């Protein structure tokens, strides 16, 4: 089947952004601007350009007012795209809210999941086609960076990810996770034990991906687009200077 189109996406915007204190004590990190536009706007624009129709944004309860103000200001820019803010009553990690709440919204179709604090330029249509071809349960958009020792490095065998190295001293490759994933909802079966035990705080990077990698069900899509991590003041400044070039 050709021309697969992913209709739903989730943006994780619930982090505290501690490495950007004191700036993020006042403004949630996804709402910080690059070239006068909030980081989250770029992500939504990328999803809209590739046919996504609905976007859910998970936020901290304390940040809901800030994001509500942001949505009122910019919602006309997202014409035709359904956007809904979801406030977490308690921290649930990068995958807990989906596993316990949003899985009913995504239903039985694959969906995109992305961190809300990075600038990224990924061909989502090509990524979806790659995901379908490899037939894994999840695909990570990988990007090549000059400083992989500062991130989690992806170790691949062909199209499959077989291991992760967290900030290795001598990285065997320059490819890291971009923080953007395409997920098949069947992955929830791999979390059944934790869900039934009532574990609400779940991390996709630790609780799911290693299991999928061990079963050769985790794929890598190597993206050639731009990518900037805005995680600290130096990287945010680099993004501001480099994104428009």
Q: What confidence tens digit (pLDDT) does each residue in 14-66 have? A: 888 788 888 888 889 999 999 999 999 999 999 999 999 999 999 999 999 99
Examine residue 120 and state whether it is found in any structural domain, yes or no.
Answer: yes
pLDDT value at residue 1:
38
| Interior/surface letters 177-195, b for 16+ CB within 10 angstroms, e for the rest | bbbbbbbbbebbebbeebb
Give the chain's mean pLDDT: 91
pLDDT value at residue 149:
87
Question: Annotated catalytic residue: which of 37, 61, 133, 167?
Answer: 167
User: Quick one: which of 240, 236, 180 has its CA closest to 19?
Assistant: 236
Q: How confident is the model at residue 242 (pLDDT cuts 50, 70, 90)?
A: confident
Range of the structural domain that residue 79 is part of: 8-242
pLDDT value at residue 4:
79
The values of phi and psi at residue 40, to 5°, are -65, -30
Q: Measured between alpha carbons, how far is 105 from 85 in angstroms, rounded to an integer?
A: 13
Is there a contact between 149 and 171 (Cβ–Cβ < 8 Å)?
yes
Examine residue 189 and state whether it is found in any structural domain, yes or no.
Answer: yes
Examine residue 1 and state whether it is found in any structural domain, yes or no.
Answer: no
Tokens of 89: 């009553």
Q: Is 167 an active-site residue?
A: yes
Examine residue 88 and state whether it is found in any structural domain, yes or no.
Answer: yes
CATH number at 86 reads 3.90.550.10
Examine residue 3 and state whether it is found in any structural domain, yes or no.
Answer: no
Examine residue 154 and state whether it is found in any structural domain, yes or no.
Answer: yes
Q: How far apart are the first and last CA of the chain?
A: 37
Other Cβ atoms less than 10 A from the Cβ of 222: the count is 16
Total domains present in the chain = 1
User: Quick one: which of 135, 86, 105, 114 has its CA closest to 179?
Assistant: 114
pLDDT value at residue 118:
92
Q: Is the pLDDT of residue 187 over 60?
A: yes
Q: How confident is the model at residue 2 (pLDDT cuts 50, 70, 90)?
A: low
Examine residue 151 and state whether it is found in any structural domain, yes or no.
Answer: yes
User: pLDDT per residue over 137-177, tens digit each?
Assistant: 999 999 999 888 888 889 998 899 998 888 888 888 999 99
Q: Is the pLDDT of residue 245 over 60?
A: no
User: pLDDT per residue over 72-115, tens digit each?
Assistant: 999 888 888 999 999 998 889 999 999 999 999 999 999 999 99
Examine residue 50 and state whether it is found in any structural domain, yes or no.
Answer: yes
């Amino acid at each position: 089947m050709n021309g697969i189109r992913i209709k739903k996406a989730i943006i994780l915007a619930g982090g505290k952004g501690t490495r950007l204190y004191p700036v993020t004590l006042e403004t949630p990190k996804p709402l910080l601007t690059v070239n006068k536009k909030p980081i989250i706007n770029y992500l939504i624009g990328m999803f809209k350009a590739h046919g996504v129709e609905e976007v859910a944004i998970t936020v901290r309860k304390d940040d809901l007012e800030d994001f509500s103000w942001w949505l009122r200001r910019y919602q006309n820019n997202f014409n035709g795209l359904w956007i809904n803010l979801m406030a977490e009553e308690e921290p649930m990690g990068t995958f807990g809210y989906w596993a316990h709440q949003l899985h009913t919204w995504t239903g039985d179709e694959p969906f995109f999941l992305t961190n809300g604090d990075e600038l990224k330029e990924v061909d989502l249509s090509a990524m979806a086609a790659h995901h379908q071809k490899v037939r894994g349960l999840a695909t990570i958009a990988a990007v090549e960076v000059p400083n992989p020792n500062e991130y989690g490095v992806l170790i691949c065998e062909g199209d499959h990810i077989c291991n992760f190295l967290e900030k290795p001293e001598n990285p065997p490759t320059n490819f890291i996770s971009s923080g953007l994933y395409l997920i098949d909802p069947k992955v929830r079966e791999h979390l059944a034990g934790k869900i039934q035990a009532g574990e609400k705080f779940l991390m996709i990077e630790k609780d799911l991906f290693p299991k999928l990698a061990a079963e050769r069900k985790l794929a890598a899509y190597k993206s050639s687009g731009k990518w900037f991590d805005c995680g600290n003041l130096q990287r945010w400044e680099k993004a501001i200077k480099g994104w428009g070039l």
